[in-house]
Amino acid sequence: MRSSARPLAALLAALTLTAGLFATGAPASARANDGAPVAEASDVSLAADTYDWKNVRIDGGGFVPGIVFNRSERNLAYARTDIGGAYRWDQAGKQWTPLLDWVDWDHWGWTGVVSLASDSADPDNVYAAVGTYTNSWDPNNGAVLRSSDRGASWKATELPFKIGGNMPGRGMGERLAVDPNKNSVLYLGAPSGNGLWRSTDSGVTWSEVTAFPNPGNYSQDPTDTSGYGNDNQGIVWVTFDERTGSAGSATQDIYVGVADKDNTVYRSTDGGATWSRIAGQPTGYLAHKGVLDSSNGYLYLTLSDTGGPYDGGKGRIWRYATATGEWKDVSPVAEADTYYGFSGLSVDRQQPGTLMATAYSSWWPDTQIFRSTDSGATWTRAWDYSSYPNRTNRFTQDVSSVPWLTWGANPTPPETTPKLGWMTEALEIDPFDSNRMMYGTGATIYGTENLKNWDSGSQFKITPMVKGLEETAVNDLASPPSGAPLLSALGDIGGFRHTDLDAVPGMMFTSPNLTSTTSLDFAEASPNTVVRVGSADAAPHIGFSTDNGSNWFQGSEPAGVTGGGTVAAAADASGFVWSPEGVGVQHTTGYGSSWSASTGIPAGATVESDRKNPKKFYGYKAGTFYVSTDGGATFTAKASTGLPAEGNVRFKAVPGIEGDVWLAGGSATGAYGLWHSTDSGATFTKSSGIDQADSVGFGKAAAGASYQTLFVTAKIGGVRGVFRSTDAGTTWTRINDDAHQWGWIGASITGDPRIYGRVYVSTNGRGIMYGDSSDGDGGTDPGTDPGTDPGTDPGNPPGDAACSVTYKVTNQWSGGFQADVTLTNTGTAALDGWQLGWTFADGQKVTQMWNATPTQDGAKVKAASISWNGKVAPGASVGFGFTGTLTGGNAVPAAFALGDEACATG
């Protein structure tokens, strides 16, 4: 399976691949090194309204290229994904805990995990090499993240080059490794000709191993000019022979795999000081994995003629005897009989001589898994032909916990459903339990807990071991006013009708099966009518449902359609407008039995429907807004000015109000923000105080409010996040926090029309997040109604406190401003919880505050500490900031009070 990665504007519909049920316990966070050239998560840590965030449960949905077990602690395991972050195994819950949800918008590439390493000398330590692309698609360099608490918190060291968790060859590895004898030493294999790198201070600093002679030379497609297929895949794995070191002394023998078909394995016998190509090694192949069985001294290689993870037509398995230098081909089949490469590789640490390998690129009729109990001399297979096309399996497979893994298919033998998998580049036998094995596929993690049945002749049982790992790339979301609470458009697995957000759906959308759904819509006044469009190997690219997405039928399509594009349903289900790839905008009545070209609107425009008037449709492209009042037959360009001409732009019409449209998008080099029209796009007004906005949606109105709740993914007051407004965009409240950022979240957002405060947020690799408000009972948004402050008037405090305050206006615009406040403890005792008050002189109003919780009564304001910054040591400072509105002057407050005592100002 290929998973769609859509990180930013350059990658809409671009390349491949995709990651969890919400973490129980404390969320992960990141902190940068002091003085190091690294990035930190946003300064905003808690919003005025606290939200409970979870995944809409799907379980899996993308490629898992790496699984890593700790070698010294039972049940400690990690998984990496190519665009959806990293996870730690929770044995008690038999599920995965996400570890990189703190990655922010500006560093979205860090959700691509190139490699993981778990420290066997100190199991609390875990490392991740992160970065998504090595070309211009990812604006940032890669980084090595390090954690001393198993991924609960992280520090980051940015590298002087890019690395690519979603690049060709990403299933090879692991590229990052910790010396098992001296755990302050780590190695990292780099792509793009950047060579081998080493850290001697537990990952804090890195330097190139200049003595290493070969940075690799293999690329998937040397003719590609994008920097993707033609990138040198570089150094692809590092393996230590732990027998050649002792506790506290560096391991002497180190093996390194290189993307070079003539020189694929190198070794150092002096702790990395010098390196040489191992004589006699196989040529003509790339070593995807190199695993050493320390019980007998054999180094095993799984080899393929390409770097994967999709391709690979020939492969071998070789064994190297480290004691004698003998190389031996121990492949389970003759070279002429392979139509696949080998990759997944593991040895059983409890049973010397037992190893397993995968035919990772065997797509048809199924992947294959091989097992040997005699160091590769003989092998058995997970399945064999009895009499073609019939198969005999050594396993049973139960996917009842994730039933969509059957894909609703009914294949002809020798294919079966479900399949064992495809893209099976990660396979690991539990080093403490010979019965447990896990392996990654293009769609899930499978595993077994009775693997030894393989050797006894009885069947072992394979089940999904993927709960908590949510790895879909989300293209579109819709929450109808009746029926299922959520409909999703996803990369690779199409999408689902979610009737229970906390349960795995039974099946993805079928009839037609779209590999990736790019857009979906329902008729606002007739929500049982749903339409979806997307990618497919052949027609059709469109499907219709008349029962709220439970069942579907294929629609016809105009000649020349090559991709889904966007689609819109008339409010009363009387017709549809479709802007597919390959041809211009089309319209139809009924269910698409015939299509007619729309006029007055350019090909490739984004289309939406008015949610009140069934004859009215809208379109947008390159700074121009288009309107149709005849069901999409003809469109007229509007004269609105100042709209973004470049970048991603998304817009939606408000349910129940004709002509009410909100538009979000733009680019850093042009117009960027949020615009509102109440006259069907004839005029737009730009929302003040919003730096950038990327998607907009609507949900149930707050109690007493006459307008639907607005949700945006945006940058407001310099802070990136998910924001909510209950007063038609006058004021905004951030509703996510720094532990819940999920990288790039710009594709889609929608509220729930039935539950106040509930919001659904798309991610690019972490599935669908949904949040419920602490005031979700329908009460007023606390971000817009601060209530009455019962405390002492801060403008006239009676005494003096041991504190000083610095107040600075950092930005000001027409009608608004941003300010930063620093509170310093000048006393001798620590503050344990604080509340700072002041009085505005010019009628200013706080609209949103970060790192503190605000209340305001008239001119009087109080800012209270939050959970993580309430303790302030003597001599230490704490800062917070806010945005506000103003109608006249903007004088700095004359006095500040800590509780009921005055602070010095400075």
- Where in the sequence numbering do the catalytic residues fall? 82, 492
Give the span between the Cα atoms of 439 and 431, in whole angstroms.
14
Q: Is residue 203 exposed (0-12), middle (13-18) or buried (19+ Cβ within 10 Å)? A: buried
Identity of residue 490: L
Contact criterion met (CB below 8 Å) for 708 and 757: no
Q: Name every residue whose Cβ is closer than 8 Å to that of residue 711 and which is 6 or more positions away in sequence.
A: 696, 697, 698, 699, 722, 723, 724, 749, 750, 751, 759
- What is the distance between the alpha carbons of residues 414 and 416, in angstroms, rounded to a whole number? 6
| DSSP 8-state class, residue 797 | -
End-to-end CA distance of the chain: 61
Q: Can you say whether the dihedral through the CA atoms of 631, 632, 636, 637 is positive or negative? A: positive
Give the residue carrying structure tokens 């406040």: 821
Give 815's contacts (C-beta < 8 A, 6+ positions apart): 688, 689, 885, 886, 887
Tell me how far apart the 2 most distant CA atoms of the chain are, in Å.
94
What is the rounded distance in angstroms from the CA atom of residue 214 to the CA atom of residue 338?
A: 29
Strand 395-397 relative to strand 460-464, pairing: parallel
The token pair at 727 is: 């007063």
DSSP one-letter code for 222: T
Which phi and psi angles does 515 have, rounded to 5°? -60, -40
The tokens describing 203, both together, are: 């990952």
DSSP state, residue 454: H
**Cis check: omega of the bond before 786, within 30 degrees of 0:** no
Classify residue 708 by its DSSP letter: P
Pairing of strands 586-589, 733-734: unpaired
If you compute the radius of gyration of the chain from its CA atoms, what whole number of angstroms results?
A: 29
Q: Quick check: 689 and 672 in contact, CB under 8 A?
A: no
Q: Count CB atoms within 10 A of the CB of residue 796.
A: 11
- Is residue 819 within 8 A of residue 810, CB to CB? The reply is yes
> Which residues neighbour 334 within 8 Å (Cβ) at sequence distance 6 or greater?
none
Contact by Cβ (8 Å): 163, 114:
yes
Helix locations, 351-507, DSSP H: 453-456
Give yes or no for a contact between 309 and 65, defined as CB atoms under 8 angstroms apart.
yes
What is the spatial distance between Cα 140 and Cα 220, in angstroms, rounded to a whole number?
Answer: 23
Cβ-proximal residues to 324 (8 Å cutoff; 6+ apart), any chain: none
How far apart (Å, rounded) are the C-alpha atoms in residues 458 and 451?
10
Strands (E), 81-219: 86-90, 95-98, 113-118, 126-130, 143-147, 153-158, 176-178, 186-189, 196-199, 207-208
Q: Rounded CA gap, 239 and 173, in Å? A: 9
Sign of CA dihedral 163, 166, 170, 174: positive
